[in-house]
Structure 1
């Protein structure tokens, strides 16, 4: 008998994820650095960070910071489960996934601020440190994105569920204890 599915990711979280993923791919791989599209998509990404920050306090349970904040206890339990190669069944972000998500969000904020500074500081004082910070954070974000994708695939294998698909559909398979079985 197929398992029932639960609503997990609300439309705003899914649009946030798709928007930032799209901006990252466009700006890192396709748009000319400093070009109009690059700049405006950067502002768009930073605006989404602001929306997501607020949504973490007022959105549904799976979007709330309190639901997935990577506390030391949660992180320790997740690392122990990974080392034992046993699944950590949890709806929403895993503790390590939340940590990577927060790191990616901080990188995007830093990229946005340094991108703005490249235009403002460079024009005023001729400094090149904003460009160095911008490039370093963009490359760091690329590495975090790779970790994020690989970890989602690995966790999908462990929990025997398609986690990337749940971000597209907003639904995830219910676990036996979540259905009352």
Structure 2
């Protein structure tokens, strides 16, 4: 029996343009880092804007982009992977179970990358959404000075050492915060890169075994399907 095939629209322009814009923005940010900070920051903002749009679209967007359509149970995901290893084709109009899990993993990791990046930007340069006002900065500096002064009174060092303590303490607090957010930001960025590698590997393997043109579908928005698709 020959299955009748037809072409259906799966991915709208917003998803397709957003997907490729995200690819460009993430790798631009990853490759620039400290060398071109302004480019790095703006690329990060583009990633953040896409994440907001994609999360909203996951609840109110079209059928195949909603989370409710491609978030599967662990049992379904494992079952799909077993069939993939056994080279038994499985056809899904939208994301397959493994692809859906990867979308969620990437969204979470990218959110961590963008969020920690903006926090680090605030700690280092006091810029971005997490930047504090001048009044808040003065209050924080006053708090550090009070703590430093209290420590200086109890110290047994000479007067010269006591006078230099507030500056060193203030720097230590900022440095610790900077190192913490920098390491966390790098962790999420590298985790995202690793997930991108597995995502590409999954697209290649799934395209070959399931005999689907997944990259073409993300470019044109359409898939050629038959009655074996679900």
Q: Normalising by structure 2, report the TM-score.
A: 0.71
On the 8 A contact 2:102/2:199 being kept in 1, the answer is yes
Q: Alpha carbons of 1:154 and 1:3: their partners in 2 closer, same or farther (altered >3 Å)?
A: same
The aligned runs of 1:72-87 (5 Å cut-off) are: 72-87=74-89
Q: CA deviation at 1:55?
A: 0.8
Alignment equivalent of 1:60, drawn from 53, 59, 62: 62
The residue that corresponds to 2:11 in the other structure is 9
**Alpha-carbon separation, structure 1, partners of 2:209 and 2:27:** 28
On the 8 A contact 2:84/2:206 being kept in 1, the answer is no
**Alpha-carbon separation, structure 1, partners of 2:194 and 2:36:** 22
The residue that corresponds to 1:42 in the other structure is 44
Alignment equivalent of 2:214, drawn from 146, 157, 163: 163
The residue that corresponds to 2:111 in the other structure is 109
Q: CA deviation at 1:112?
A: 1.0
**Alpha-carbon separation, structure 2, partners of 1:92 and 1:33:** 39
**Alpha-carbon separation, structure 2, partners of 1:151 and 1:115:** 28
Match of 1:18, SS state, is helix
- RMSD, aligned CA: 2.0
The aligned runs of 1:120-159 (5 Å cut-off) are: 120-122=122-124, 125-126=174-175, 127=177, 128-159=179-210
Match of 2:212, SS state, is coil
Match of 1:172, SS state, is strand
Structure 2 stretches lacking a partner, 5+ long = 127-173
The residue that corresponds to 1:29 in the other structure is 31
Q: Which has the larger radius of gyration?
A: 2
Cα deviation 1:97-138 (Å, max 9, x = unaligned): 111111111111111111111122345722211111111111
The residue that corresponds to 2:92 in the other structure is 90
Structure 1 stretches lacking a partner, 5+ long = none
Match of 2:218, SS state, is helix
Q: Normalising by structure 1, report the TM-score.
A: 0.89
On the 8 A contact 2:32/2:39 being kept in 1, the answer is no
Q: Alpha carbons of 1:41 and 1:25: their partners in 2 closer, same or farther (altered >3 Å)?
A: same
On the 8 A contact 1:27/1:33 being kept in 2, the answer is no
Q: CA deviation at 1:79?
A: 2.1
